[in-house]
Amino acid sequence: MRFRSKVRRIAGLALLGLVASAVLSACDKSPSILQPAGPIAQNEAYMAYMVFGVAAVVFVLVTAALIYCIIRFRDRPGAAEARQLQGNQRLEIIWTVVPTLLLFGILFFTIRTMFLVATPPSPANITVNVIGHQWWWEFDYQQNGKTQFVTADELHAPVNAIVHLNLISDNVIHSFWIPQLTGKTDVIPGHNNTMWFQATSFDPNNPDNNVYRGACAEFCGTQHAHMDFIVVIQTQSDYNSWVTQQMQPAATPAAGSQAAAGLKVFQTAGCEGCHAINGVTPPVKGLIGPNLTHFGSRQLIAGGVLSNTADNLFQWVYQAQTVKPGVDMPDFNGSAGSAGNLSQDQVNALVAYLESLQ
């Protein structure tokens, strides 16, 4: 009896899991590999459909044969002893050859897809060094092998452009993944991988439809799940204005404004130890936190944990360890382990300054 209730409970949990994954995977905004927006993801989606299709046909045929045999040849009262067999050569050949052919077919299409997605159709239009940090992404736009500008957690590219990515880490292994645009590639310290993508679908009427979610797909520490980013696909002219804006030094706040007070806080509270702001701090390489030169223009804070609003930024500066425990960003609320004891007015001024950095 006890065994049976245990089995029932496990079966119930399994069913619940299946239903939950079916419901959650149908979420409107979930980045599904089955909603491709570019050629790599498209080829990968074809591959997924093919493998699942073949597996579904095999599952249905085998299960149907199994159920048929269980019912048709079951023991009945008074039935004669079943015919005793010594194996069946023809059947054994069939169920060896058919799966072998199926698997070789899948192998053929897998290798074909790997070649299709390995090389971009034309030279790169944009090259970006992607640096995986614990736990955020730095995007270092390159021109002639030199840094043009850097941003964090937000990658922009024009529609149809071939984007070439150099994947770099100086800490642990991450994995870079934009489900609707391209598959995962590991970001390995001491071994720079490369990848590319191209976004070919574009909705001119709703810019929200041209923003794709990306994630880290390799466990890289306690906040691995909070290492998201977005990819913003734009028209060529919108992209060009974004680049022009990103290359400007930081805006100078008006004298006497709250933002000007915030700049003072930034320069005195120790923020400069980890964050650069072009035009304010010396251009230091190898910083701990994101470059904040155009922080106000970004949509996400803290590796995608928060959307970029003044309230969220206040929480982040004041008590980052509560928002994202274990992150390098310290608290500034005077609690144990804080890097400072800023008043709420000081934090509000800092927030006003950072949000003014468009």
Residues of this chain that interact with ligand CUA (CB under 6 A) are: 132, 135, 174, 216, 218-220, 224, 227
Whole-number minimum distance, CB 223 to ligand CUA, in Å? 8
By beta-carbon proximity to ligand CUA, the closer residue of 193 and 235 is: 193
By beta-carbon proximity to ligand CUA, the closer residue of 176 and 316 is: 176
Peptide bond into 135 cis (omega under 30): yes
By beta-carbon proximity to ligand CUA, the closer residue of 215 and 323 is: 215
By beta-carbon proximity to ligand CUA, the closer residue of 253 and 303 is: 303
By beta-carbon proximity to ligand CUA, the closer residue of 220 and 354 is: 220
Whole-number minimum distance, CB 220 to ligand CUA, in Å? 3
Angle between helices 39-72 and 89-118 (to 10 degrees): 170
Whole-number minimum distance, CB 224 to ligand CUA, in Å? 3
Whole-number minimum distance, CB 55 to ligand CUA, in Å? 29
Whole-number minimum distance, CB 218 to ligand CUA, in Å? 5
